[in-house]
Structure 1
Amino acid sequence: MSDEEILVDFLNVNSAFQSQAISGESQFTFLSKFTGKAELWTLNEENKPVQVIETPDRVMDVYHGPKGDWTVIGMDYKGNEKQQIYAYRTDAEIKELIPLVVSPDHFHHIGGWSPNGKFLSFSSNRRAAGFFDVFIVDIETKEIKKVYSHDANCIPVSWIDDENIIVSSKVTNIDSTLSVVHIHNGSINVIGNQDVSSRYEMPIADTISNNVYMLSDYKEETLHLCRFSVDQPAQIEKLLHWEKWDMEEISFSPEKELLAFTLNEGGINRLGFYSPQLKACELADGIPKGVISSMSWLTNEILIFTLKTPIAPGDIWSYDVASKKVNRLTFIGQSKTVGKFWCEPELRIFHSFDGLEVPYFFYNKDASVNQPAVIYVHGGPESQTKAEYNPVVQYLVHKGMAVAAPNIRGSNGYGRSFLQMDDADKRLDAVEDLACLAKELTATHQVAEDKIGIIGRSYGGFMVLAALTHYPNLWAAGVDIVGMSNLKTFLQNTGEWRRYLRESEYGSLEQYSKYFDKIAPMNLTDKIQAPLLVFHGRNDTRVPVSEAQQLVDDLQSRKSPVKFIVFEDEGHHTEKTANQITMHMETVAFFDRYLRK
């Protein structure tokens, strides 16, 4: 096979993700990109993937009704993230997509089904661009009713019973408040102590005990399992806590006997089970090291979930709590041609300029002297690089490059203090983390000083540009994907619905405008020495394409080496398979050209 054919095979590897059980059917669905975009699939009697229903655009969310008779799906248009809601009868022989909630100019965030399967909850900014109100829609009559008004960003996250919804309102980029809203009389009860900044996530009601279980870092560094009584929502009881690691996802078994959870140990998930009655916890063994998500109970004893690892792009697995056996249900995320080339990373740490321990995943096969390397920066900022498959990383390693994927200060998964270490005017400390990592690679991994590239998406793209401008001598090439070139213009032009959330991380326009101008890569383009490759989606509602255009225009006027590729049918996320292949092939060719010369 030629190098180009091998690269295409790396990029064409499919996956299964967002697994979800269908109530009462002992059957499940998942998303996959067999058609080039994310659509809904299931397994037939021969355990072969079959498409459930065709959709005109990518599927973002899927919610099967509690009675197994209806399913709703969310789709946007050409990546603009303005999700619209459609429905189909799950039990119909010929499935027809029916518009349920459609207003193309607005966002719709699905909250889930009422327990009786009559209503679906969602939030939308129909009243004003930055204001999200909560609605319910009757699945049979299609009648929509507003049940809660909020002059900021909010989403319904769970139902307690057929009349009460839990609504999450974002206070900052990480913190939130929870309220119980009655859909008929509009009464509101606040959960927990709102005077203490906290994350509240994944609330799940247990109607048998009248308790609601959730994850929170209330008065702690990390997310832990806790609960409150519906009758006393202000009193939160801590049940299960790891001081060092976050718990990430929870899911109740149908009879509410077991609560499955995931534990994030430095970007690698463990699966566990907690018994509220016995107050006992057990971690599962035998599951490959990777990222577990989309947990859903097929029966009272069998849990299904999506599993991604660095050498497994994504498949649906099950765990039997009675026999403690793990079983792989789909075999979509594999390759007979390039799977043998995939590389497991090492989880390492380096000490930054101030002594802070910064973790990173290190991929390498050759370990040769003076080899080239690439640093891969995650977005967010409050995201986390995890142990999951990345085709570009794997191909670069296959071509003899080392790749370091760090979780610099400001990353999620290491506690609240670490998460907030890059806020506002501490932004350049995170950039210096990248500079220290580049020096670490040359000092401990035999990487050539003049052959280090850097790549990142979204906030990671901003960090690429910041690294190129503030530490220009360290880099041989840079790739910016949908990144910001100036936090000031980004905040001025991003969607109103998210501006105040980003300001809580970056600092407000009112207070930090001069600081943004001072550190902006857009204002320091004369410092850039490395060639630059820039990608952006025309329909990006998070980081406007103007952030890339203004930077590219300036570099071109200076005759600096820059290449700009705009995807006309994408938004913030590059979703379509053809566009992913274009982007990744350009990226690999770019690094191959500038890191091997």
Structure 2
Amino acid sequence: MMRKQLLLAGLLAVAYSGTAQNQEAAQEIGNLVVRNIPALPADLMERVDQYQNVRGATVADWDREGKGLFISTRFAEVPQIHHVAAPGADRRQITFYKEPLAAAAVAPDKKQNGFVFSRDNGGNENYQIYFFDLSTGRARLLTDGKSRNQFQGWNRAGSQLAYMSNQRNGADLDLYLLNFQPDAKPTMLTELKGGGWGVSAWSDDGKQMILSNYKSINEAELYRFDVTSRKLERLFATAGPVSYSGAEFTKDGKGLFLVSDEGTEFQTLRYVDLASKQQTPLTAPITWDVQGMDLSMDGTKLVFATNEDGYSKLYVLDTKTRKYQPVANVPKGVISNFRLNDDSRRLALSVSTPTASSDVYVADLTTKTLTRWTTSELGGLNSASFVEPSLIQYSTFDQVDGKARLIPAFLYKPKNATGKTPVLISIHGGPEGQSLPTFSPLINLLVNELGVAVVVPNVRGSSGYGKTYLKLDNGAKREESVKDIGALLEWIGRQPDLDPGRVAVYGGSYGGYMSLATMTNYNDQMRCGIDLFGISNFTTFLKNTSPYRADLRRAEYGDERDPAMQAVFAQISPISKIKNITKPMLVYQGKNDPRVPLSESEQMVAGLQQQGTSVWYIMAKDEGHSLAKKANRDYTYGAMLLFLRNNLLK
């Protein structure tokens, strides 16, 4: 079966070059290679550019003095690190690279005036770690310059930093330690097996770490690592798979604050006594996932966030009484990148809402006040035009406890619409991701400029709704998530203000697969589809994805080396049912994608061209598994807008 699928992929690759003469010649527009796409109207591109100039800001770290903040924001092509000295102060740009920078970790040693950052090349995700010296304005490379390296943090003194690297064999991530001194060479602390290893916590005395071996979103293993003896010891022997999503050592190193789903449906916060391994639940009454935490420098406070139907809530826990209360006055939205100041009182955080792009705030946990530090530009748009979604639930094909299973979704509708509105279904990636009500320039562009309703479902397999829901699409159950889209189409058909005769689908990564699968399974109910770097053939995807990712993805999708899964993949892969797609498609792919390789999109485009199905194709030479560069995003979104105008609205 695998041999047949690989042969099919090869034939389609040949077909791609052979049928090119029947398509418009490829054009190069900047770093994009585009095929079969007409000229984009100037007025359309002006509107796209305006929405793409809505900026946002996120927290990177407090500065050395603890008075100002480093943030990530974009003024040109990609986000860079900026410094903000006070609330409302100018955003002073620090880095000026061609690749995006979203994070910075300031050196804890006050004698060092700078921060660590990571950067890849063209989206290849082979991240290199640098130290940016603010005194000289120069960056120093700390890693080997070629392999994949993942920064894991500073020790409390700022004398050492840890990172994971696959430089040994390109697949396995090993733990390295670097003494932060001029010309110091990194030391491999321990050789590990697997591509999902990371440092979850590092004790204040620098003597012990908690390492996590991530196997899938449903399973991880925690290990206690002695930095001096290099002894690695499994922390918990569990009866079944357990997921861990965060850990913090107590100040004395004798305990852990841990987020886990062991014995619970959701990721909950608990305290662990390391001597006895006894766990004490801390947030059991909250029946939602805890997502992220930060322990204060003095150890008296632990800030954590929960994800409640996609919206964030922020809490502060007294580590002595172990009681928690909400952080006051935070806008309703999605909170990220929160970080306590060394004074253990002020908390920096990023907040994005459906109608406001991400900005940076500081909460004073003593006075219970919230101060806005940044106000990002809106591209000249009126914020009153931005759309607030409604949170809906629709019934799908199966039942839970004798009742129809409900699928959550966000619905964005044009204001003052008349008649039946065309619909775009937007599906998230992952598959273990979750669509959140953050600000989206693209959604607002589609709703306001095309008059399209956008439905954003969190189909089975999405995170945020408990581990049972998370596992519903694993392995051979893959197409049951596609059936959730079929149920959504039925729901659309029952709505008086939505047009079931004008429906399109859009998604990226796993969402790209879902878009292709929707088109192969429900072609007759669709007007068109848009696929961004989606999986077209599970067998070739698993064979060609980066080595460090292969086993991690097999845990979710199934193992292509197993004949039984080969048979499933042959049945469900969109490439196997490509003849079902007769409606127009738009496909985008980054050439340097280490996750879903270029070949996945190329073979799909080849097959569509060969059978005469209309397909617009965009390939970015300087992108990976994203649309990180503004120029590329502008053109691609413009093409999407024209594609939907031509195929969905008419």
Matched residue, 2:523: 472
User: What TM-score, normalized by structure 2, do the two folds share?
Assistant: 0.88
Asked whether the equivalents of residues 173 and 502 of structure 1 are also in contact (C-alpha less than 8 Å), the reply is: no
Judge conservation of contact 2:81–2:102 (CA < 8 Å) in 1: no
Which of 287, 302, 306 does residue 350 from structure 2 map onto?
306
8 Å Cα contact 1:202/1:215 also seen in 2: yes
Judge conservation of contact 1:351–1:358 (CA < 8 Å) in 2.
yes
2:128 paired with 1:128? no
2:125 equivalent among 60, 63, 81? 81
* Residue 450 (structure 1) shift: 1.7
Match of 1:225 among 266, 269, 284: 269
Q: Does 1:536 align with 2:580?
A: no
Spell out, residue by residue over 1:389-423, the C-alpha distance to the aligned partner (whole angstroms, 9 max, x if none). 11111111113111100100000000000000011
TM-aligned CA distance change 1:575 to 1:474, over 3 Å: same
Instruction: Report if aligned partners of 1:367, 1:445 keep a CA contact under 8 Å in 2.
Output: no
Cα pair 2:251 2:298 within 8 Å, conserved: no
Match of 2:578 in 1: 525
Q: 1:255-286: CA deviations, max 9, x gaps?
A: 12111111101110011111121221111343
Q: Deviations over 1:113-140 (max 9, x none)?
A: 0111111101111111221110011111
Determine if the alignment matches structure 1 residue 36 to structure 2 residue 77.
yes
Helix, strand or coil at the partner of 1:488: helix
What is the CA-CA distance between 1:445 and the residue it aligns to?
4.7
- Contact 1:36–1:577 under 8 Å retained in 2: yes
**Matched residue, 2:418:** 368
Within a 5 Å distance, the mapping from 1:260-275 to structure 2 comes to: 260-275=303-318
Task: Name the structure 2 match of 1:321.
Answer: 365
Partner of 1:496: 547
Identity of aligned residues (%): 26
| Mapping of residues 313-462 of structure 1, within 5 Å | 313-332=357-376, 334-354=378-398, 355-364=404-413, 365-398=415-448, 399-462=450-513
Q: Counterparts of 2:59 and 2:543 in 1: how far apart (Å)?
A: 34
Tell whether the 8 Å contact from 1:64 to 1:72 is kept in structure 2 after alignment. yes
Contact 1:226/1:239 (<8 A) preserved: yes
Distance 1:433 1:139 in 2: 51
Cα deviations across residues 14-34 of structure 1 (Å, max 9, x unaligned)?
111243223542221111121
The separation in 2 between residues aligned to 1:193 and 1:22, in whole angstroms, is: 40
Q: Is the 8 A contact 2:60 2:102 kept in 1?
A: no
Q: 1:446-491, CA deviations, whole angstroms, 9 ceiling, x for partnerless residues?
A: 2222210110010000000001001111211110001010111111
Q: Return the match for 1:195 from 215, 239, 248.
A: 239
Amino acid at match of 1:210: K
State how far apart, in whole Å, the 1-side matches of 2:520 and 2:571 are.
Answer: 11
Residue type at the aligned position of 1:110: F
Distance 1:197 1:236 in 2: 17
Superposed CA deviations along residues 75-115 of structure 1, whole A, max 9, x for unmatched, are 0001111100110234x2x32111111331x1111110011
Q: Secondary structure at the match of 1:85?
A: strand
Per the alignment, in what secondary structure is the counterpart of residue 597 of structure 2? Answer: coil
Q: Is the 8 A contact 2:53 2:378 kept in 1?
A: no
Quick one: which amino acid aligns to residue 247 of structure 1? V
Contact 1:11/1:584 (8 A) holds in 2 = no
Is contact 1:61–1:75 with CA below 8 Å preserved after alignment?
A: no
How many residues in Structure 1 have an aligned counterpart in Structure 2? 593
The residue that corresponds to 1:48 in the other structure is 90
1:103 is aligned, of 145, 149, 153, to 145
Mapped to 1, the partners of 2:242 and 2:618 lie a distance apart of 40
What is the aligned partner in structure 1 of residue 211 from structure 2?
Answer: 167
Q: 1:335 Cα deviation (Å)?
A: 4.2
Deviation, structure 1 residue 580: 1.2
TM-score (normalizing by structure 1):
0.96
**Structure 1 Cα separation of the partners of residues 642 and 284 of structure 2:** 46
Instruction: Answer whether contact 1:60 1:75 (CA < 8 A) is retained.
Output: no
Contact (CA 8 Å) 2:69, 2:85: kept in 1 or not? Answer: no
CA displacement at 1:584 relative to structure 2:
1.1
Pair 10,321 (structure 1): closer, same or farther in 2 beyond 3 Å: same
Structure 2: gaps (5+ residues) = 1-41, 399-403
Runs of 5+ unmatched residues, structure 1? none
1:147 aligns with 2:189: yes
1:16·1:333 contact (CA, 8 Å) conserved in 2? no
Say if 1:209 and 1:168 are closer, same or farther in 2 by CA, change over 3 A: closer
- Deviation track 1:52-92 (CA, whole Å, cap 9, x = no partner) reads 233353225321122242411100001111100110234x2
Give the C-alpha shift of residue 172 in structure 1.
Answer: 2.4
| Contact 1:180–1:189, Cα closer than 8 Å, also in 2 | yes
Aligned CA distance change for structure 1 residues 333 and 517 (closer, same or farther; 3 Å): farther
Letter in 2 for 1:358: I
Greater CA deviation, 15-24 or 400-409?
Answer: 15-24
Hey, what's the Cα distance between the residues in 2 that align with 1:444 and 1:310? Answer: 23
Report if aligned partners of 1:24, 1:67 keep a CA contact under 8 Å in 2: no
